Amino acid sequence: MANEGKKFLDFYVSSPVCSPSRASLLTGCYPQRISFGTFDGLGVLFPGQGIGLNTEEDTIAKIVKKSGYSTKIIGKWHCGDQEEFLPTNHGFDSYFGIPYSNDMGIQKEIVDYYPENSTLAKVTEWDRPPLPLIRDKEVIQEQPDQRSIAERYTEDAVRFIRNNQDKPFFLYLAHMQVHLPLYAAEKFVNESKNGDYGACVASIDWSTQVIFDELKELGIDENTIVIFTSDNGSRLQNQGGSNGDLRGRKGQTWEGGQRVPCIIRWPGNVEAGSVCNEIATTMDFLPSITKLIGGELPVKKIDGIEMSDLFFSNEISSKRDIFFYYNEDNLEAIRYKNWKLHIKKEGNNVNELYDLEKDISESNNLFNENKNLVNQLLSYIDSFRKELGDKSLSIVGNEVRPPGRKKNPKPLTSFDDNHPYMYAEYDKGERG
The residues annotated as belonging to the active site are 18, 78
Q: Is 279:321 a contact under the CB 8 Å cutoff?
A: yes
> Cα–Cα distance between 199 and 407 in angstroms, integer?
41
Task: List b or e across 146-177, with b for residues whose CB sees 16 or more CB atoms inside 10 angstroms.
Answer: bbebbebbbebbbebbeebbeeebbbbbbbbb
Position 221: which residue type? D
Q: Is 373:339 a contact under the CB 8 Å cutoff?
A: yes
Helices (H), 81-240: 149-163, 186-191, 195-217
> Cα–Cα distance between 182 and 221 in angstroms, integer?
31
Q: Is 211:156 a contact under the CB 8 Å cutoff?
A: no
Q: How many residues does the chain have?
A: 432
SS3 332: strand
SS3 292: helix
Pairing of β 262-265 and β 6-8 = antiparallel
> Cα–Cα distance between 277 and 286 in angstroms, integer?
20
